[in-house]
Structure 1
Amino acid sequence: MQNSINLKINSIQHIGIPVTDIQASQVFYSRLGFKNVMEQPFTDKDGQGTCVMMQLGDIILELYQLPEAALAEIRTRKHGHVDHVAFDVNNIDEAFAIAQQAGLKIQEEAPVFLQFWKNGCKYFNIAGPDGERLEFNQIL
């Protein structure tokens, strides 16, 4: 058994779900009791998308609609659409340094800033043994 890597994870922060119709998804999750607590556009290599954080108690779902060019792949998925699990951390730079030192498969060169939430957030992803994406996220 290998030694534990102390990334100081607080809790699951959110679960990321790519959607093909952000409005229909908001209505669906609202019917389950979730509330829209944050909505923000974003831009990636394919264009502009939309991210909506839906919350019910301590559960946060990140619903995001990618630009049209990327939606074909999302529509053809057969085994679910959960894209990543995000862990909340207090210090993203410290978590990044620990992950680097541990030799984890980090997907970004450095923590990435997004203008989400009131003051933004920073995140980075690692790949698990089967390629699953695990995000470490700090709301600033």
Structure 2
Amino acid sequence: MSMKLHDNVTGFQHMGFPTNDLAETVAFYEKLGFHVALRTYNEEAGEEVAFLQIGNLMLEIYENHQAPMQAGAWDHLAIDVKDIEAAYQEVCSLGLNNQKDTIHFLPFWKNGVKFFKITGPNHEVIEFSQIL
């Protein structure tokens, strides 16, 4: 029997949003008390990336020079899961893989991260993510 999504989710992982100036954005959030948990480069997207953390709140900031510079400009909400394959199977079986996405891998963190994305009813992007 496969794991149900509500048993697979461990909580909020991060909120992701683009920036036109990573250094300025990092400096701003550091003034608020955030620290850089990871700074890396996404080869696939050609973007510098910083994960900023304060307590259990994590932000993924990536410099793509396409930030809309207006309220509501966050790009995605990431939900942490124990088993990305089980989450993917359930989302697909529920007919919710409306982006026709597959499981992706990025070499972030110590052992990498696997994730996939869907779109919510208000065009919000929801990422299911497992840090390996």
Correspondence 1:31-42 to 2 at 5 A: 31-42=31-42
Post-superposition offset of 1:79: 3.0
Q: Is the 8 A contact 2:101 2:117 kept in 1?
A: no
Q: 2:95 aligns with which of 103, 112, 118?
A: 103
Post-superposition offset of 1:105: 2.9
Aligned equivalents of 2:12, 2:93: Cα separation in 1: 23
Partner of 2:58: 60
Over the aligned positions, Cα root-mean-square deviation in angstroms equals 1.5
Tell me which amino acid in the other structure corresponds to 1:84.
H
Aligned equivalents of 1:93, 1:106: Cα separation in 2: 17
Partner of 2:130: 138
Distance 1:29-1:108 versus aligned 2 partners, 3 A rule: farther
Q: 1:119 aligns with which of 91, 111, 124?
A: 111
Q: Please identify, of 104-113 and 87-96, the stretch whose mean Cα deviation from structure 2 is larger.
A: 104-113
> Is the counterpart of residue 17 in structure 1 residue 17 in structure 2?
yes
Q: Is the 8 A contact 2:12 2:80 kept in 1?
A: yes
- Count of matched residue pairs: 127
Unaligned ranges ≥5, structure 1:
1-5
Structure 1 residue ranges, 4+ long, deviating more than 4 angstroms after superposition? none
Kindly provide the CA deviation profile for residues 60-92 of structure 1, in whole angstroms up to 9, marking residues without a partner as x.
0111112xxxx2x42x44333211110000000
Unaligned ranges ≥5, structure 2:
none
Q: Is the 8 A contact 1:106 1:124 kept in 2?
A: no
Percent of pairs identical after alignment?
A: 35
Post-superposition offset of 1:93: 0.6
Distance 1:56-1:78 versus aligned 2 partners, 3 A rule: closer
Secondary structure of the corresponding residue to residue 131 of structure 1: coil
